[in-house]
Amino acid sequence: MTKEAGLIIGQDSQVSEHPTKRRIEFCEEGVSTMCSFYGVNKLNFEQMLQNGYTEISFGRGPFGFSDEKTAKHIVAFAAFFKEDSPKIKTLEVRKECGTFGSYSEGLSERKYSSDKYQKTVDQFKLLLVTEDLAGFIQRFSWPQQ
C-alpha cells in the first residue's frame, strides 16, 4: 500500500483509520455522480482491477469549497493505485464557479505522481475513503443502467 493510499484525508488533514458511515456515504456520492451523470459504470472499475490496480480512494470536495485561484472544485473523484507503481490514475469531475453559475468540465482521466496527487488532494481539500478495489466493486450500490 502506498503512503497516500493508506491515508484518509479530511478537511483538516487529520488521518482517520475508521471513517464514519456518514463520511463513507458522502464519499460514495462522488462515485454515484460519475455513474449517474457522466457514463461511468461498474465495468470501468472492473477494467481498472484487470489492469492491476488494487486500491481505490474515492470521494469529493466539501460543499461550497473551490480553489481560490481557479474557482474550480471537484464533485467526483476516484483514484486507483497499483502495488509497485509510482503513478496514480484518477477519474475526476471538476466544476468551475463562474459569474452566472457553475459549469462542469465533464469527466476526465488523469495520471499523477505521488507528489502531484497529494498536491491535488490538498488543493481541493478532498474528502476521501480508501479501500480494496475488489471489495469496493462488490460492495458499492451500482446504479441500474
CA 8 to chain CA mean position, Å: 11
User: Which DSSP state fits 123?
Assistant: H
Question: What are the distances in angstroms from CA 36 to CA 15, 26, 31, 69?
Answer: 30, 15, 9, 29
pLDDT tens for 43-87 read 999 999 999 999 999 999 987 777 777 788 899 999 999 998 999
Cross-sheet strand order for the sheet of 72-82 = 101-112, 88-98, 72-82, 53-60, 127-132
For 116-139, the pLDDT digits (tens) are: 999 999 999 999 999 999 999 999
Determine the pLDDT at residue 91.
98
* pLDDT value for 144: 78
More confident residue, 24 or 12: 24
Over 70: is that where the pLDDT of 38 sits?
yes
- Which position has the higher pLDDT, 127 or 8? 127
